[in-house]
Structure 1
Amino acid sequence: MSTVLRFLPELGHWITHNLDAGAPPDGLVDAMVGQGMAAGAARAIVAAFVDARQRGVAPPVDSVALPDDESARPFIARPRLAPGHRIAAVDREVTVHARGRDPVWAALGPVLDADECRALIDMARPRLRPSTLVDPMSGRDVVSEHRTSWGMFFRLGENDLVARLDRRLSALMNLPLENGEGLQVLHYPAGAGSEPHHDYLAPTNAANRESVARSGQRVSTLVTYLNDVPAGGQTVFPHLGLAFSPVQGHACYFEYGDGQGGVDPRCLHASSPVEQGEKWVVTKWMRERRFVSAGEALGG
């Protein structure tokens, strides 16, 4: 069984024109959602056009078909973050300084202590590489002018400190340890930042679709700041009117996945340029089910 999504041919012309002009598929999805289209329908339609371009075939004219379990549906928020002003996270109690419910977000801290922050920076520094973005058309990791940071990933439980933090952050985010991707450390030198983007995986290329098939969609993010930034470097949410200041050990948390494949585009966010000093963060992403990397899936 499949669900047929129908749309006006004029929409198809608009999508083709913008893709030809180099517009990112995520941006087209956001624009369609902004005009009242369900997020699932917008993603499916844009993905069909991108897929047609990659395969060198004619794009759809006025409809796309997709399996019933991927049919368009409203995003249904199911908050995971525990209620209350303080949250028990295995080996520490974390204060909730502020929170919102639609979508779910919170300012948390302290999540890490100063010694843990310094240790992560010291371990990450020699392994930093220019940060990449996933090219929405090819699915390949590419260095992009839209993100001017340096980054690296730890493996789950790579050492005692990383294992302790994996357990703590999983408890704080209220999802199983196995659902978490490995910790990512990013370094933003003075002047560096990132353009607005979503953390969920848009189904616009084979790599993203395969990752979602293995592990489910990303559903929540925890960004913990590893140092104080004298000026700039805020995590900014343009649709929500929020800006989180980078304070050592404190964190920005947000949810955007309903656990059934639905995502909330309002969690678009960016890192504003660092005006003074530098910025270090560690990020934890959670999936709908156990995270299986591409290498693990291939037996690597």
Structure 2
Amino acid sequence: MDSRKYLALSLCFLFLFPDLSHSNIQLPGWLGDNKMQGSVLKLKKGVSSATFDPSRVTQLSWHPRAFLYKGFLSDEECDHLINVARDKLEKSMVADNESGKSIMSEVRTSSGMFLRKYQDEVVADIEARVAAWTFLPIENGEAMQVLHYLHGEKYEPHFDYFHDKENQKLGGHRVATVLMYLSNVEKGGETVFPNAESKVSQPKDDDVSDCAKNGYAVKPKKGDALLFFSLNPDATTDTRSLHGSCPVIEGEKWSATKWIHVRSFEKPNKQEGMGGKGDCVDENENCPVWAKAGECKKNPLYMVGDDGKCRKSCKVCSS
């Protein structure tokens, strides 16, 4: 099964069944044996395993789609990620909208570093748990980034999907983001969604910062994780997913971010001898079947676009 089907599976479960806390469902395995026993989904991949409990998940918003998992990480896991990253922090960068290159900007004043995928058992278990929750394959995810915000540091509202084509070449758009809070913050540091439909109806107490009052806000709590989608169900970009990290007013903020793409992020889409310039090949064994079913016209971006996977079967190139 390719990434397109994985994405469809995740959308079906998360969009049609946001609350599975009372379900008793047997799921087909895509990373081994996935089983829903009562309210717990278990996933295994190699030596790592994960348990996902839907009863801990709350739907925060539908526009954008956002969900909060209470206690996604243990205190020990949070402390481990902080300790691994603490001595390796560098100034955070942003992607330039024109070139796609990473540049420094005053819109993002935190420091951070990227872990290696599966670099230790704790990281591997967390990555497996993210895959279990999102129903998106591990290979579609970027390496986890640990971030540190000191007093006054912030990240202005931005989108996680890309505005440039360069960053879309590997893995396509970021479809989902899992933001894990590794520490409590005394005041400030909220994740805010300025364009969320529910921003007006959300009650705000005296503890929230002025920044958090400008949208739907999520207060950092050690161990909790926030999942939100940057694309709509029809794969168009969701402008409601605009989000930012409010300035820290008291204390400090540690978090870990996992960005997940629509396709694999582990290898180039155009491999040598497989779809490179001058080649006319299919990159999926199902391409002939999909072409006969009319997918060349129904799904042209995937089938025949600049990065199309079924250009040969769709007869837009010659061998």
Shorter chain as denominator, the TM-score bin is: 0.5 to 0.7
Q: 2:73 aligns with which of 105, 112, 118?
A: 112
The change in CA–CA distance for 1:198 and 1:80 in structure 2 (over 3 A counts) is farther
Alpha-carbon distance in structure 1 between the residues aligned to 2:244 and 2:171: 25
- Aligned residues of 1:78 and 1:258 also touching (Cα < 8 A): no
Q: Residue 157 of structure 2 corresponds to which residue in structure 1?
A: 196
Q: Residue 288 of structure 1 corresponds to which residue in structure 2?
A: 262
Shift >6 Å, 4+ stretches: none
1:224 equivalent to 2:177? Answer no
Alpha-carbon distance in structure 1 between the residues aligned to 2:271 and 2:174: 18
SS state at 1:91 partner: strand
> What does residue range 1-300 of structure 1 map to in structure 2 within 5 Å?
78=11, 81=14, 83-84=18-19, 85=21, 88=41, 90-93=50-53, 95-203=56-164, 209-240=165-196, 241=199, 242-258=216-232, 261-292=235-266
SS state at 1:285 partner: strand
Q: Gaps spanning 5+ residues in structure 1: where?
A: 1-76, 204-208
SS state at 2:51 partner: coil
Alpha-carbon distance in structure 2 between the residues aligned to 1:279 and 1:288: 29
Alpha-carbon distance in structure 1 between the residues aligned to 2:40 and 2:260: 18
Q: Structure 2 length normalisation: TM-score?
A: 0.63
Matched residue type, 2:236? G
Matched residue type, 2:41? A
Residues 50-103 of structure 1 show CA distances to partners (whole Å, capped at 9, x for unaligned) of: xxxxxxxxxxxxxxxxxxxxxxxxxxx946535324663632425013433333
Alpha-carbon distance in structure 2 between the residues aligned to 1:231 and 1:160: 33
The change in CA–CA distance for 1:154 and 1:259 in structure 2 (over 3 A counts) is farther
The change in CA–CA distance for 1:79 and 1:189 in structure 2 (over 3 A counts) is farther
The change in CA–CA distance for 1:138 and 1:217 in structure 2 (over 3 A counts) is closer
Q: Gaps spanning 5+ residues in structure 2: where?
A: 1-9, 22-38, 43-49, 200-215, 273-319
Deviation at 1:211, TM superposition (A): 3.3
- Aligned residues of 1:201 and 1:212 also touching (Cα < 8 A): yes
- Aligned residues of 1:211 and 1:293 also touching (Cα < 8 A): no
Alpha-carbon distance in structure 1 between the residues aligned to 2:242 and 2:267: 24
- Aligned residues of 1:259 and 1:288 also touching (Cα < 8 A): no
Could you say what the CA RMSD is over the residues aligned between the two structures, in angstroms?
2.4
Residues 203-250 of structure 1 show CA distances to partners (whole Å, capped at 9, x for unaligned) of: 2xxxxx233233121101111100000100000000112100000001
- Aligned residues of 1:79 and 1:255 also touching (Cα < 8 A): no
Alpha-carbon distance in structure 2 between the residues aligned to 1:260 and 1:156: 29
- Aligned residues of 2:97 and 2:162 also touching (Cα < 8 A): no
- Aligned residues of 1:132 and 1:144 also touching (Cα < 8 A): yes
Q: Residue 73 of structure 1 corresponds to which residue in structure 2?
A: none
Deviation at 1:134, TM superposition (A): 1.3
Alpha-carbon distance in structure 2 between the residues aligned to 1:140 and 1:255: 23
Q: Residue 51 of structure 1 corresponds to which residue in structure 2?
A: none
Alpha-carbon distance in structure 1 between the residues aligned to 2:116 and 2:256: 13
Residues 11-49 of structure 1 show CA distances to partners (whole Å, capped at 9, x for unaligned) of: xxxxxxxxxxxxxxxxxxxxxxxxxxxxxxxxxxxxxxx
